Amino acid sequence: MAKELKELTNREENYSQWYNDLVVKAGLAENSAVRGCRVIKPYGYAIWEKMQRALDQMFKDTGHENAYFPLFIPKSFFSKEAHHVEGFAKECAVVTHYRLKNDPEGKGVVVDPDAKLEEELIVRPTSETIIWNTYKNWIQSYRDLPILCNQWANVVRWEMRTRLFLRTAEFLWQEGHTAHATREEAIEEAERMIRVYADFAENWMGVPVIVGHKSPNERFAGAEDTLTIEALMQDGKALQSGTSHFLGQNFAKAFDVQFTNREGKLDYVWATSWGVSTRLMGALIMAHSDNNGLVLPPRLAPIQVVMIPIYKGEQELAEVTAKLSAIAAELKKRGISVKLDARDNVRSGFKFAEYELKGVPVRLAMGPRDLAGGTIEIARRDTLTKEVVPQEGLADRIEGLLDEIQANIYNKALKFREGMMTPVDTYDEFKRVLDEKGGFVLAHWDGTPETEERIKEETKATIRCIPVDAPDEEGVCIYSGKPSQRRVIFARSY
């Protein structure tokens, strides 16, 4: 077995270390020389690119266009929206100077004190402020609305404790920023986009999610309502995977963005913003992978099928490889991404382990006996099963198999998630479930920030969301005993 695999920490022993090992050893990402910043390696970036392509098409299909706004935001912009400044203008990278000069003492370069900026610039932690300052010039009348912009960008939040993909100082994301003539239209947009995210998570990533509203405590700074998709990881902790905010008229008021409405009256513009980030990479990895490595859903796998020749000597290698090449060409014609690994300097056992580690959904192996008998071995990464099948009809079979694996990965995660949804009616039960089982705990809550805050302090669990489809149900708050109209979802989370 490959050296890398031997060193993969066991998931059941140390989930956190298993995750970190996996990210590094599968070649997805690694830490860099800059604290809190990471390098996304080619294999990891290839998955992110597939995510981007799919999401970008979904955004365009719902009428959005891409644009690009500045990396830097003047410091004063953050003070304009009262809640936003509390949430975002704190832990961030501040540019104070614009020039270096040679050290007079000959030790490299130093900051030139004469090149101090009049006003400091903040590296964007999110772009509402600079974008609404721009929209001010784009909007005069209801005819200029809606504006449906998205931006693919890097952002920086100076996190003190970082984890690859889940929480890093710099990360990649997209942020949609839309402007509307009416409150109703903006709310509809925020709801549309959280549904797009849920669709992507479930149908591309194979990760089931719960769509709901954040409690006021957990809302985006400056939002009137935050919608979220919440996913469950295999260790029973929740991961917030995407959010969509109804911003009301808060940013329009902060940046004085008014328009003439259909009735000819001046009004402030209504706004939404919504985003997902490279954090989705963390969700993807943690939701499906196992002790052999990554398990990737076929729709996001950079390599969907890997082919490995089994042989002794150059003659056999050449013959088997020729046949595999022909099959590869046929699969590629159908839009399947195939890698034929005919390296002669590593054993096939090493290759098997390597592609398991990298989560390639389907592995084909062929030896001289297969060549003679017209057969081939197919192995599935998700179930770790294999079978020998005829080469005849292989392309159809693989196309079907990729769909089957995509569905199986989702269904497995869904079944796990459903087993981890536990309704509780007392605070003792609540704490016991959190400690012994984890997962989503469905409990009544009195709706106050104070209760939520105390539960968080005492148990480290937060309200992940108030599900949009939560049925009405009379009950009493597990903490305060006050009346409640529906259960909300609590969990410990990343």
Residue among 6, 114, 314, 345 that touches a second copy (CB under 8 A):
345
For residue 26, state whether it binds a second copy (rule: CB under 8 A). no
For residue 57, state whether it binds a second copy (rule: CB under 8 A). no
Residue among 34, 326, 421, 468 that touches a second copy (CB under 8 A):
34
Shortest distance in whole angstroms from residue 41 CB to a second copy: 6
For residue 318, state whether it binds a second copy (rule: CB under 8 A). no
CB 172 within 8 A of CB 290: no
CB 189 within 8 A of CB 271: no
Tokens encoding 231: 């996913």
Shortest distance in whole angstroms from residue 99 CB to a second copy: 6
Sign, Cα dihedral of 342, 343, 349, 353: negative
Residue among 16, 17, 63, 99 that touches a second copy (CB under 8 A):
99
In angstroms, rounded to a whole number, what is the distance separating the alpha carbons of residues 281 and 165?
6
What is the DSSP annotation of 81-103? SHHHHHHHSSS--EEEES-EEE-
CB 194 within 8 A of CB 227: yes
Residue among 50, 128, 134, 244 that touches a second copy (CB under 8 A):
134
Nearest one of 35, 157, 172 to 88, comparing CA atoms: 157
Binding footprint of a second copy, residue count (CB under 8 A): 63
CB 294 within 8 A of CB 26: yes
In angstroms, rounded to a whole number, what is the distance separating the alpha carbons of residues 223 and 20?
33
Residue among 19, 45, 165, 445 that touches a second copy (CB under 8 A):
45
Shortest distance in whole angstroms from residue 239 CB to a second copy: 21
Of the candidate spans 91-99, 216-224, 262-270, 452-460, the one that interacts with a second copy by CB under 8 A turns out to be: 91-99
Within 13 Å of residue 212, how many CA atoms lie on the same side as its CB?
22
Contacts of 188 (CB under 8 A, 6+ apart): none
Site for a second copy in 60-79 (CB under 8 A): 65-79
Shortest distance in whole angstroms from residue 450 CB to a second copy: 24
For residue 93, state whether it binds a second copy (rule: CB under 8 A). yes
Residue among 2, 22, 40, 285 that touches a second copy (CB under 8 A):
40
Ramachandran angles phi, psi of 100, nearest 5°: -110, 160
Residue among 1, 95, 388, 421 that touches a second copy (CB under 8 A):
95
Strand partners, 268: 258
CB 210 within 8 A of CB 303: no
CB 212 within 8 A of CB 468: yes
Name the H helices within 255-386.
279-288, 313-333, 348-357, 368-373
By beta-carbon proximity to a second copy, the closer residue of 45 and 274 is 45
For residue 179, state whether it binds a second copy (rule: CB under 8 A). no
Shortest distance in whole angstroms from residue 87 CB to a second copy: 12
Helix (H, G, I), strand (E, B), or coil: what is residue 137? helix
For residue 351, state whether it binds a second copy (rule: CB under 8 A). no
By beta-carbon proximity to a second copy, the closer residue of 140 and 411 is 140
For residue 329, state whether it binds a second copy (rule: CB under 8 A). no
Of the candidate spans 37-45, 189-197, 219-227, 358-366, the one that interacts with a second copy by CB under 8 A turns out to be: 37-45
What mask, x for binding a second copy by CB under 8 A, covers residues 158 to 177? x-----------x-x-----
Site for a second copy in 441-480 (CB under 8 A): none
Residue among 4, 9, 20, 30 that touches a second copy (CB under 8 A):
30
**In b/e form, how buried is each residue of 368-388, taking b as 16+ CB within 10 angstroms?**
bebbeeebbbbbbbbeeeeee
Shortest distance in whole angstroms from residue 306 CB to a second copy: 16
For residue 140, state whether it binds a second copy (rule: CB under 8 A). no
Strand partners, 308: 365
In angstroms, rounded to a whole number, what is the distance separating the alpha carbons of residues 492 and 378?
39
Residue among 2, 22, 26, 123 that touches a second copy (CB under 8 A):
123
Residues at the contact surface with a second copy, assessed by CB under 8 A: 30, 32-34, 37-42, 45-46, 48-49, 65-79, 85, 89-101, 108-109, 111, 120-123, 130, 133-134, 137, 143, 149, 153-154, 156, 158, 170, 172, 345
